[in-house]
Structure 1
Amino acid sequence: MSSSDPREFLERLCTERGEDFAGLSRMLGRNAAYIQQFVRRGVPKRLKEEERRKLARYFSVSESLLGGPPDDPTISQGLLSVSRHPVAVSAGPGAIVTQELGKPYFAFDERWLKGLTSTPAASLSIVRVEGDSMSPTLNAGDEILVDLGDAVDRLRDGIYVLRIDDALVVKRVAMHPMGRRVTVQSDNPAYPDWPDCGIDEIHCIGRVIWASRKVV
């Protein structure tokens, strides 16, 4: 069922699902004639955002069908989709980047994700870890959430995905107290650090803000 007219769409919903205008009006905290006036007389011209959202959730339909803005493809029923890119970031020898076209893979609770970062979901990416140089913090096969909007301009101590030549690596970055210098570290002591690197020498892709792993 589809209709470009929110009033016609809402009336058809009520007919097909056995709902009545008065009951929906009361659900919205309005007088019993409110929805009937909206559908039949065009008053008000548009439902308020909160009213539209309540009706959309009640009927499990998109708000856009009730006069709301076009759907954001990254948002579905309070979830934000984050793309997984078909590349691996190496915690060991560099993983070569062969393709960077992502597609939706993980869906996170919108409020939880916004509490983690203010960066839009379109600028986040899920990638897989290879190698053991960041063990035990990150292990081979872990999936990490990378904030692409939190990169060199906001560089600070933390774990980042870096591009070294044509490879991607995940490493810990430690800022020097003075100057634009950093030490690139591996959490696994078996691997050497890269001391005293210039910030311009490392290409920072984004900050690692979350990780998931299979429990074995």
Structure 2
Amino acid sequence: MESESVRQTLDRLIQERGDDYASLSRMLGRNPTYIQQFIKRGVPRKLAEDDRRRLAAHFGVSEQELGGPPGPIGRAVHNEPQLVSDSRDYVLVPHLTPDGKVLPTEASPASGPESALAFQAQWARSIASGGVEALSVLRVDGDSMYPTLAEGDHILVDTADRRLRDGVFVVRTDESILIRRLSVNPTTKRVRASCDNPNYSSWEDCPPESLDLVGRVVWVGRRL
């Protein structure tokens, strides 16, 4: 299928579903403008295989409609919160991978066998700034944020909340994602990104534009 036709098809599906470009981009673990640039500017020229697969599953269409090979219609939406046991009281929140991408709920993250965690829907909505579809689960690896966060803790990351201010955020680096406590200097507006564990070094006096925020940490759960 020609790239222009693919872009038109994707735009139509988005409009019919009532989705928006930024939310779909976050679902793919991409920059918020990724889908808009693909549709409006043709950048990239075609969807990556994994992005195409996940979008087809999201909209319940064949990958062929999005420029892929002929195949079956995509399965149920994998990143939007899903009903648990046909109950509307709970939603499934998918995991983030160590490189900051959102996993399909049917996949297994490297950190453990579970692919998603279930949360009470009303509570999840109450802490999500941009809707529960923007929430992701991350398993804490290491002790850099101890005692606030311990290894093995599960945190909820609100990927719609990336307004730079004081708080605990997930930050994307060149190769991975890290959890850091951000403190903004009210005078210079430059940022200190620190670890709560004093044995780890901090990033001092960072320009705001140097920080790629994945989202704000809004909840932590741990096994006693």
User: Where does residue 138 of structure 1 map in the other structure?
Assistant: 149
Check whether the contact 2:194–2:203 (CA below 8 A) recurs between aligned residues. Answer: yes
Name the aligned partner's letter for residue 197 of structure 2.
N
Unaligned 5+ runs, structure 2:
1-79, 106-114
More relative contact order, 1 or 2 (CA 8 Å, 6+ apart): 1
CA–CA separation in structure 2 for the residues paired with 1:177 and 1:187: 21
Which of residues 112, 121, 132 is equivalent to 2:132?
Answer: 121
Which of residues 170, 183, 192 is equivalent to 2:179?
Answer: 170
* Misfit runs of 4+, over 4 Å: none
User: Where does residue 205 of structure 1 map in the other structure?
Assistant: 214
User: Where does residue 82 of structure 2 map in the other structure?
Assistant: 74
Larger radius of gyration: 1
Alpha-carbon RMSD across the aligned residues, in angstroms, is: 1.9
User: Where does residue 29 of structure 1 map in the other structure?
Assistant: none
Shift of 1:73: 5.7
Between Structure 1 and Structure 2, which shows a larger proportion of strand residues? Answer: 1
User: Where does residue 25 of structure 1 map in the other structure?
Assistant: none
Q: Secondary structure of the equivalent of 2:124?
A: helix
Unaligned 5+ runs, structure 1:
1-71, 89-96
User: Where does residue 102 of structure 1 map in the other structure?
Assistant: 104
Deviation per CA, 1:111-138: give whole Å up to 9, x if none.
2122222322221100111111100001
Identity %: 38
CA–CA separation in structure 2 for the residues paired with 1:98 and 1:161: 9
Name the aligned partner's letter for residue 82 of structure 1.
V
TM-score (norm 1): 0.57
CA–CA separation in structure 1 for the residues paired with 2:92 and 2:191: 33
Q: What aligned pairs does 1:175-190 form with structure 2 within 5 A after superposition? A: 175-190=184-199
- CA gap 1:160/1:148 in 2 versus in 1, 3 angstroms: same
Check whether the contact 2:81–2:133 (CA below 8 A) recurs between aligned residues. Answer: no
Name the aligned partner's letter for residue 109 of structure 1.
Q
Shift of 1:187: 0.3
The alignment covers a number of residue pairs equal to 133
Shift of 1:101: 2.6
